[in-house]
Amino acid sequence: MSNKTLPRRRNTRPGGRNWPLLLAAFIISGGTAKTSSIIMLAVTLALRGWKVRVFDLDHQRSASHIACAMDELPAGQPTIWDLMHGASLDECSVPARYVTIPADPEAGRAEAVYETIEGLHIVPGSREVKNFDTESAMDGLLHTWFRELCDSYDGDDDVWLLDLPASLSKMVVSALLPFQEDDELVPPVLVTSKEATDLKATFEELGEMRRQHNQRSRTRKTAPTIKHILMCGTPTPGRPDAEGELTVEAMKATYGKDFTLHTIRWSSVIRQQHRRQAPVHAFGARNAAPIEDYNKVATSLGFVDLESA
């Protein structure tokens, strides 16, 4: 599952398939910047001119909250749960947006003011996804919902980004089935020894999942592949961290030869995304560490700036 690659993203339909490239933030560990990474990459790619769609598959719905695609939407707005049960992608998608002026009833402003992000849509999350494993045990067809969505897609999106929960559940496996070698899982790893250990477990469980599924299926192989690893919360001279520095060096020694490792520096600004209901791009300085670092990740993944090309 290790292959260093040169940037290449001009072909967003590898192998002549009809669905876009797939990227997912995944590691079997909670609280490791998966949602932050998905939001930062999604906005970065959209600002570079790519057509992007985010699928919020985590029952915590953090990506939906940051992109204002949760409580701020009209009652009855279809979600990822409805998409799994046959609703159309268009009706389950909403433009990603962010708060520019918060609501302030005392100042006579009952509703917040929003700004949309051109080229970026999100399928809002749902707490109902917690029921997927139980329901799929009774309805085997549910397990192929994402593959069927990919097979039937006829739009012009360039890339789909998946925010996945921290377990290799039946729901996560269902979302990984269409992944091919050109698609990627990008694990965000907080630089502690625990998350580094969880990364090792992630490789092992993904390898076993691939083996079991591909033994059963002769025609539709799955190939969720890791090529890039994000080392999140890496220390900086202004914020030294002996434990983090040790973990970074250990990860370089273990994975540096076969994988592209990315430094995502410690930054308090990225923690503000959820509270502000806005990505760092909307309120941070242009040279904010997360913006600089995720721009480098996007370039390394091969997503050039179409706006300046």
**Span 242-267, pLDDT tens digits:** 989 999 999 999 999 999 999 999 88
CB-based burial label for 17 (10 Å; 0-12, 13-18, 19+): middle
Task: Find the helix or strand (DSSP H, E) in which 54 lies.
Answer: strand 52-56
Q: Do residues 25 and 226 make contact, with C-beta atoms less than 8 angstroms apart?
A: no
**CA 18/CA 150 separation, integer angstroms:** 7
Other CB atoms closer than 10 Å to residue 82's CB: what's the count?
18
**CA 38/CA 69 separation, integer angstroms:** 15
Q: Determine what percent of the chain is predicted with pLDDT higher than 90.
A: 72
Q: Determine what percent of the chain is predicted with pLDDT higher than 70.
A: 96
pLDDT at 10: 57
Q: What is the mean pLDDT of residues 6-13?
A: 57
Give tens-digit pLDDT for 264-303. Answer: 998 889 989 999 999 999 999 999 999 999 999 999 999 9
First to last CA, the chain: 32
Assess whether pLDDT exceeds 90 at residue 92. yes
Whole-angstrom CA distances from 256 to 28, 250, 260 are 20, 9, 7
- Say what the alpha-carbon torsion angle 36, 39, 44, 46 is, to the nearest 10 degrees: 180
Structure tokens at 59: 């029952």
Task: Find the helix or strand (DSSP H, E) in which 152 lies.
Answer: helix 145-152
Q: Which residue has the tokens 């091969």?
A: 302
Q: What is the mean pLDDT of residues 183-208?
A: 91
**What is the chain's mean pLDDT, rounded?**
91
Structure tokens at 161: 């980004």
pLDDT at 66: 95
**CA 271/CA 33 separation, integer angstroms:** 10
Which residue type, as a one-letter code, is found at position 28?
I
Assess whether pLDDT exceeds 70 at residue 8. no
For 95, phi then psi, to 5°, come to -65, 135
Whole-angstrom CA distances from 127 to 59, 132, 169 are 5, 10, 15
pLDDT at 309: 55
pLDDT at 150: 97
Task: Answer with the residue of higher pLDDT: 32 or 264.
Answer: 264
**CA 82/CA 124 separation, integer angstroms:** 10
pLDDT at 294: 97
Q: What is the mean pLDDT of residues 59-85?
A: 92
